Chain A
Amino acid sequence: MSLNTPSRLEKVLKQGNLAVTSECGPPRGSDPEAVTSKGALIKDHVDAVNITDNQTSMTRMSSLAACIHLKQMGIEPVLQMVTRDRNRIALQSDILGAASFDIHNMLCLSGDHQSFGDCAQGQNVHDLDSMQLIQTVRLMRDEGKFLGGDDIKRPPKMFVGAAANPFADPFEIRVPRLAKKVACGVEFIQTQCIYNLDKFELWMEGVRERGLEDKVFIMAGMTPMKSAGMAKFMKNRVPGMDVPDEIIDRLSGVPKDKQAQEGIDICVEAIERLRECKGVAGFHIMAIEWEEKVPEIVERSGLYPRPQV
């Protein structure tokens, strides 16, 4: 097993374990407690924790600062970086900043359009796109070079991830698009939340046909539904989300105060099914503002304890 970085997530995956990551959204304020308390809830049940980067374009504490808070409490962060808000100077600079705190994972994203957030009248940058950001960080790490060509002293040691949405349109380019990210140098993928398991498995079939699962670790994205209302909202209002009616029906079929538990059950069952899907290398459990449920999901899915690496 050859490791490219000191990342613990990389080690867990390369040793052949099903990896588990989760996600924290930084607060809309400067209280570090808001990050560290979430981190403390999931610390022992995951291998690494993503910190989102101004998700849905709502202005929040910076992803890098929140990652540093987690790092200082012994949690391995995954720095999410969107290309919406920073040009190539700022992106490279923040990658170095993260590396200076020995943050060893990052996730390259384009980010939601700013019209979804609190600064709809702001500019967007999109100097690079997510694929080009993958190439950039690989160049910085592997060649020790800036985009401008100069040498980097102590290059960043980042394990490089990206997102994939098997459910966005058009479906037929979803596998070629992953192949493109692999060609750019991505090493792990965290997918969009999966509710339509059949369609996800179909996508994975296409992934295996091209042997991509041997070139990139694919972590299946899981988000437990809190209620039938949330499921309907995700289905109708969140772009690129595929929520089959049977999920909504199943949640609607139980009394309101039991829907959250039903949502957790659905999530655990999905993990149990997908861990058998060849090419799934782990799970990315995004329990939005519901981090306290991550340990239960991990334990019930048989993913606990986490390997010591």
Chain B
Amino acid sequence: MIIADKKPIQEIIDQVSNYERILVLGCNECVTVCEAGGKKEVEILASVLRMHFLKEGQERKIDERTLERQCDHEYLEEIRDVIDQYDAVLSLACGVGVQFTAEKYLTTPVLPGVNTCFLGANEQRGMWTERCQACGECVLGKTAGICPISRCAKRVMNGPCGGSTNGKCEINSEVDCAWQLIIDRLKALGRMEDYEIVAPIKDWSTERAGGPRKVVREDVQV
């Protein structure tokens, strides 16, 4: 899923300070699971903002709402009848949700309430780690199910580099070396001979490098 993290509260206050009527808008998908932008976080953030402005002697309208998804037209329509009651929307969705909301409501400022970080998994309570950079051409079948693009600091396709030490990456002794993991798993799979297959130069045009991407699926279009 998409992993997001909280923004510093001061940054949020600075962003919304010019607006009288604010809708704090959560999303019920990834950001709920990673506890950055679901109903619970919307509630907490809205009350922190109310308290902040009250302390400043200002009463502002700060409402709460959480949609099923902000990356879907259907759910975003649910706020059409109320959008004009607000000077700004503070969206706690990922960057996709923030933008989709902004596209839909052209004349309402939509501000990001979280930092969208990566595609990852919940490794343990309160800790999420990256697993994929959406390169558009998955090579996991050749790398024992471990992604060298998202998990190697140099995205080396034929690793490990010379900096791998005790299973950890040269950038930080807390970060696993992706290539150590790949080798461990090749061993577990009894496929160590695959290690010597040279990975060809990658076509990065399916990745960010190729410009904004689009998936068109005629089989599911209506």
- Taking Cβ atoms with an 8 Å cutoff, the residues of A that contact B are 83-84, 88, 110-113, 115, 124, 126-132, 135-136, 147, 163-165, 168-170, 173, 176-177, 179-180, 183-184, 192, 239-240
Per the bound structure, the CA–CA distance linking A128 and B199 in Å amounts to: 10
Q: Are B164 and A110 in contact (CB under 8 A)?
A: no
Q: Whole-angstrom distance between the alpha carbons of A130 and B171 in the complex? A: 18
A253 to B177, CA, bound (A): 36
Q: Which of chain B's residues has its CB closest to A165's CB?
A: B162
Q: Which residues of B contact A192 (CB under 8 A)?
A: 162
Cβ contact of B163, chosen from A168, A173, A184, cutoff 8 A: A168
A100–B157 Cα distance when bound, in Å, is 30
B27 to chain A, nearest CB (A): 29
Contacts of A183 in B (CB 8 A): 196, 198
Task: Say yes or no: B196 contacts A180, CB within 8 Å.
Answer: yes
B85 at the interface (CB under 8 A from A): no
Q: Shortest distance in angstroms between B182's beta carbon and chain A's nearest beta carbon?
A: 10
- Judging by beta carbons under 8 Å apart, are B170 and A113 in contact? yes
Contact sample, A vs B, 20 pairs, CB 8 Å cutoff: A83-B154, A113-B154, A113-B170, A115-B153, A128-B201, A129-B156, A131-B198, A132-B158, A147-B201, A165-B162, A168-B165, A169-B160, A170-B180, A177-B160, A179-B196, A180-B196, A239-B163, A239-B164, A240-B162, A240-B163
- A132 near B201 with CB under 8 A, answer yes
Fill in one digit per residue for B59-74: 1 if any A CB lies within 8 Å of its CB, else 0: 0000000000000000
Q: Which of B172-217 contact A (CB under 8 A)?
A: 177, 180, 183, 195-196, 198-201, 204
| Besides the known contacts A127-B204, A128-B201, 16 further A-B residue pairs in the complex with CB atoms under 8 A apart | A113-B154, A113-B171, A126-B156, A129-B157, A131-B157, A132-B157, A168-B163, A168-B165, A169-B167, A169-B180, A170-B160, A170-B164, A170-B167, A173-B183, A179-B196, A180-B198
